[in-house]
Amino acid sequence: MSTKAQAILDEIKALPPQEVRAVWQQLSQMAAGMETSASPTGRVSEGDFEAALDEVTGCTAGNGGLRRLLEDRRRDRERDEARLEARQRGRTRG
């Protein structure tokens, strides 16, 4: 795998689950539009793709550390968004 591909994969690993799903959908659409000759396996089923993505991202690697990390990031982001909303409400009141 190229350095660029590895960097992209690392960024995908850091995304919240819903964003990983959105990336998967885009990749699936992109792969569907590619020539089958460019890909020896042709179109991959949803289940196969998700299983491969889980394997690559470590989601099935025993302890589920990545899932916990992503869940922690999601909670942190929600907390930060709530703080920003509260700050915004405070500004509009005062």
Query: Confidence class of residue 79 from pLDDT cuts 50, 70 and 90?
Result: very high
CA angle 16, 13, 50 (to 5 degrees): 85
Considering only CA atoms, give the Rg of the chain. Answer: 18
What are the domain boundaries of the chain? 3-93
15: left (phi over 0), alpha (psi -120 to 50) or beta: beta
Instruction: Provide the mean pLDDT of the chain.
Output: 78
Q: Is the pTM of this model over 0.75?
A: no
- Neighbour tally for 55: CB within 10 Å: 11
The whole-number pLDDT of residue 53 equals 74
Q: How do residues 34-76 score in pLDDT, each as one tens digit?
A: 755 455 556 777 877 777 777 666 655 555 666 777 888 889 9
Tell me the percentage of the chain whose pLDDT exceeds 90.
9
